[in-house]
Structure 1
């Protein structure tokens, strides 16, 4: 539905440069040109920086991650005297309900919006798109942490100097 749009990006670097975020949105040039879109983009980037979601939406969560989360929930229920003796069908329904909490914590669009906890990010995007007279979707994001990917060098300076002296 957004095939004709190339995308627009917003970036945010946290004070002190400890981490940053780049978010790609799919929307029209007309919507992206509005000043309110820049503020919206920064809000979404700040959300990602603050909440550090693992996934964009529920469909991005790998099946093995969901299976592991469900396994954890079922194990917790088995060890809880209140739920241990419930029928498996009931435990299964309860586990699915508890996965909803996992989505709210792990998926960007399901998280409570940091500037208004009464709505989630999905609703904030929809409300902004409506206000700006177009469509907006979050296509992708990347969260960078200062030093991420760098391996700490393990050096013994005294041994290095001694080796240099010996030649």
Structure 2
């Protein structure tokens, strides 16, 4: 993600900032948040009924690295949003990442296969309106592969 020019820093409402402060605190991060920046991910048409944004959380302590998040949320299209809410798609996705993946990691560790499911991002939060993940592109150097090209397991790794 390219940095936002200083004169174009998007403003984030107090309500949204408070929501992300609560998410950070619920995940055991007790550093004081100074700023929450939300930018479009540029992933147009990737989700048929969701939109994706990059969220950067800056902390007051300059020694604390910013937290980079990838957030999927409902679109303005009420038909698609209602369908997602009715099917509880975001809730199911967050449950997979917040319950199944950690359990799978523990199971693999107990069998001596640590790191087997490390390809999944950490899920910080999920409800019926949004899912908040760590941003693997910014945080761990992952890259997005072209969907139109077929990928095998080695390429994905």
> TM exceeds 0.5?
no
- Higher RCO (C-alpha 8 Å, min separation 6): 1
- Structure (1 or 2) with the larger CA radius of gyration: 1
TM-score by length of 1: 0.27
TM-score by length of 2: 0.28
Tell me which protein shows more helix as a share of its residues: 1
